Amino acid sequence: MAINVEIKKVADDGRLVRYSFMSSLGEERFLTVDREAERVWPDDGLENIEYNGAVRALVKVWRENGEFPDRARHQA
CB 6 within 8 A of CB 72: yes
Query: What pLDDT score was predicted for residue 25?
Result: 78
pLDDT in tens, 14-45: 999 999 998 777 889 999 999 999 899 999 99
Whole-angstrom distance, CA of residue 63 vs CA of residue 16: 18
Q: What is the pTM of this model?
A: 0.90
Report, in angstroms and rounded to the nearest whole number, the Rg of the chain calculated over CA atoms.
11
The total of other beta-carbon atoms located within 10 Å of residue 16's CB is 13
CB 33 within 8 A of CB 27: no
pLDDT in tens, 1-15: 677 889 999 999 999
- The DSSP element (H or E) to which 64 belongs, if any, is helix 49-65
